[in-house]
Each structure stands twice: as C-alpha cells, then as structure tokens.
Copies of this chain bind each other. A is one copy, B any other.
Amino acid sequence: MPTLYHHPMSSASRFVRLILTEYNYQVDLIEEQPWEKRRDFLALNPAGTLPVYVDDSMRALCGATVISEYLDETHGVLKRDRRLLAEDPFQRAEIRRLTEWFLVKMEQDVTRPLARERAFKLQMTADQGGGAPDSKVLRTARANIRQHMKYITWLAGSRQWLAGERMSYADLAAAAALSVLDYLGEIDWNESPIAKDWYQRVKSRPSFRPLLNDRVRGLTPVSHYADLDF
C-alpha cells in the first residue's frame, strides 16, 4: 500500500489526506516531524517538507501541488462529476490559484506561524528551535486571519463552492488550513457566518472525519473542534 508522510498540524498534509479519502484511495499514514531532519526522510524529499507520498515501487512524490496534480492525472480524471479539478483550463487555473492561495499565501501569513509557535515548538527540542511561543509572531499572524476570513466569506458568498459550481481542490485546501487553525481555537466563527456555513458543508463530509480525530500530543483541541454543529 502507498504511504503518506504527514503531520496533523500541516495544512498541506491535511489537504492531500482529504483528496485521498474523497477518491477512496487507501494509504498508510506515517507521522513525520520534519524539524528532526531524519536522514531517511530527506532521502525521500531533499526539501524536507510535508507531505510526501511513496508508492508501492518506492517512488516518492513531494509536496501538495505535485501530489494533487498526480492524483488528478491518475485518479481524478476518471471520476467525472466527482473530479476535484475541472475540465476547462481556465476553471482549472482558478482552482489552482485558490489552492495556492490557501497552501502558500495563507500558510505564510497565518497557518504556519501559528502552527509552529503553538504546536510544533511544543514537540521540538531547544536545539530544534522549541520553546515558548513568540508573542510578536502570534500577534502578526492573528491580525492576518481576519483578511483571509473576509476573502473566504466573499468567495463563499458569491459562488456555490469557493472556486465555482462544484467542490474542488480549492475547498479542500481552504478547509485543511482552517481546520488546523480551528484545532488551535484561532477562529471566531461568530464573526464570519457565511464562511462558517461553507466550512460546515466541507466539515460534514465523511472524508473530513479522520481529521477531526487527529490529536497532537500535549495540545487539546478547542471544544467545538470535532463538532459538526459548532
């Protein structure tokens, strides 16, 4: 069976797990702490980033973009109206733009700093950069959340799903990132009812259940984290 190296607080890992489950594709999950820079892991992915997908012939695919494009080419293309990338090149471009927005821009602005300061540093040794959260980093990241929630509100308010008429990679990428932030209790859903309504639809999908069962050692999720009626 193929293997996915992931971390529960990595939004890119969660994104790929959602795709795999949406396509009913079974993989073994291995939790990786990328800051340990394990030699065997770096041999699979010299960039040292998550997720990494290793197929039965031990060929490695590195990173959410590479894996999601591969899964579209080998699985999505057969799924007809359950395909998570569109047929039309311009519609595909819009899905890719938003996927990158959530997994690169929102990741830099919000998700990675908060996950790092509040979750990863708990698991890191002092040598690896562990320790108490940097309050300045937390403050900046939290100030950025609102802008991203506004953008999601605008998208969810003007379209059926974030990139158009059908659920796509864009929704899974956004929900993956939000689910990390929600675990950490960083989202005030009362402020964003339209975004909440959209998130509730994605969160209720069977593919989301494994994510709601994730737990990080030493860090309890916010009480409504796994609640479908939050």
Q: CB of A138 within 8 A of chain B?
A: no
Please measure, in the bound complex, the distance between the C-alpha atom of A101 and the C-alpha atom of B66, giving whole angstroms: 11
* Chain B residues closer than 8 Å to A188, beta-carbon distance: none
B61–A93 touching, CB < 8 Å: yes
Contact call A73/B97, Cβ cutoff below 8 A: no
Q: Give bound CA distance, A73 to B89, whole Å.
A: 7
Rounded to whole angstroms, the CA-CA distance of A59 and B47 in the bound complex is 34
Q: Is the CB of A65 within 8 A of B151?
A: no
Residues facing B in A72-115 (CB within 8 A) are: 73-74, 89-90, 92-93, 96-97, 100-101, 104-105
The answer to whether B47 and A101 have CB atoms under 8 Å apart is yes
Asked whether A93 lies within 8 Å of B70 as measured between CB atoms, the reply is yes
Cα separation A96 to B178 with both chains bound (whole Å)? 26
Interface pair A151/B46, CB less than 8 Å apart: yes
Contact status A89-B70, CB under 8 Å: yes
In the complex, what distance in Å separates the CA atom of A63 from the CA atom of B59?
28
In the complex, chain B residues whose CB is within 8 Å of the CB of A46: 151
Tell me, rounded to whole Å, the shortest Cβ–Cβ distance linking A19 to chain B: 15
Q: Which residue of B lies closest to A154 (CB)?
A: B46
The yes or no answer to A62 lying at the interface (CB within 8 A) is yes
In chain A, positions 40-74 with a C-beta closer than 8 Å to chain B are 46-47, 59, 61-63, 65-67, 69-70, 73-74
- Chain B residues with Cβ below 8 Å from A63 are 97, 100
Shortest Cβ gap from A20 to chain B (Å) = 16
23 pairs from A and B in contact (CB 8 Å cutoff)? A46-B151, A47-B101, A59-B90, A61-B90, A61-B97, A62-B97, A63-B97, A63-B100, A65-B96, A65-B100, A66-B93, A66-B96, A66-B100, A69-B69, A69-B92, A69-B93, A69-B96, A70-B90, A70-B92, A70-B93, A73-B89, A74-B89, A104-B104
